[in-house]
Amino acid sequence: MNSYLRYTDYLSKKYTPKKKLSIGTDCSGTEAPMQALKILGVNYAHAFSSDNDDDVISNIQHNLEPKFLYNDITTRNHSKLPKLDIYVCGFPCQAFSLLGKRKGFNDEIKGTIFFDCYQTIRHTRPTVFILENVKGLVNHDQQRTFQTILRYLKSLKNYNIYYSILNTCDYGIPQNRERVYIIGIDKTHDKGFQFPQPIPLEIGLVDILDKHIKHDQEYLYNSLTPHKIDIVKTLVNNGKIVDLRKPWVVNLNVSSAERTTPMLNISPTLLAGHGTGCIYYLTSHNRLLTTNEYMKLQGFHPEFVSVVSRQQTYKQAGNAMSVNVLCFIFMSIFKSVRF
């Protein structure tokens, strides 16, 4: 087993359902939910998927076989969707992120996608649904946005609703990534769901590094702009980085040193970077993180192959749900839900 999938030792396969599960996914990018089910060995039928990014669709088509693939959730006739066992949606987070403008539901495009997710749940009546978003959603607009979401979900009447903020690094992968997960379980199937308990982090970022990229000019320190090099120097001067020979990971997608916090042997939250370049610098190796390392930091299955450009791969990894976290959530669901 690959070192970055070591967390699978904590997952009990005896709880894996014997029946074939029907899964529908929306706004889940490179389909982390399906990657998690594959790692767990779950027998499933991928009923549908959706994304409005052509590059994401290319990766979905290369790696998966959803029965239907929609490119616009907002124009889909939700009433014609099939009954599901599980529905997963990572509705766009930019409207709620602390790094964005935080327009919330006032964002006419991305902020209203939740309501399409809600309508999809109404019509597909899944036994379980999983919604994922940034941590900032919980407190957005003095918690009014999150309370609105919960009110809509509770209006469905037949679901128990659970939510919690989980961090990727608490489930076996060295990335500091906090996300809120909202779980809905049909009351007639719920035996008492509990969110998964954290496990020890047994590996660091250096344990998942790619080999043999020493001469790849794209990733070398010299490829950084003078401005990015100045940021690294400032971080050393102000004491945020102690000893460049140690594996400090620095997000250099910033305008100044004040806007970034290096982490030792663990990655800060991976960002999408809007496809224009995701510059995460590893001081001990004097280079940038590779796209494959990005995917590892999201827990993707080793067999996943990206067929899009380097920058688009960074973007998709930064937008993805963490596969390892979903593995633990699914296993907790399988322990407590009658399918």
Task: Tell me which residue of 177, 131, 124, 172 sits closest to 150, measured CA to CA.
Answer: 131
Cα–Cα dist 171/320, whole Å: 16
DSSP letters for 99-155: TS---GGGSTTGGGHHHHHHHHHHHH--SEEEEEEEGGGTTTTTTHHHHHHHHHHHT
Cα–Cα dist 290/293, whole Å: 5
Catalytic residue among 27, 89, 93, 278: 93
Q: Which two tokens stand for residue 169?
A: 């690094």
Task: Tell me which residue of 153, 168, 180 sits closest to 297, measured CA to CA.
Answer: 168
Do the beta carbons of residue 274 and residue 316 sit within 8 Å?
A: no
Cα–Cα dist 128/187, whole Å: 10
* CA end-to-end distance (rounded Å), the chain: 29
Do the beta carbons of residue 221 and residue 244 sit within 8 Å?
A: no
Asked about 327 being catalytic, the answer comes back as no
DSSP letters for 152-206: HHHTTSSEEEEEEEEEGGGGTSSB--EEEEEEEEETTTBS---PPPP------GG
Cα–Cα dist 35/322, whole Å: 10
Known catalytic residues are 93
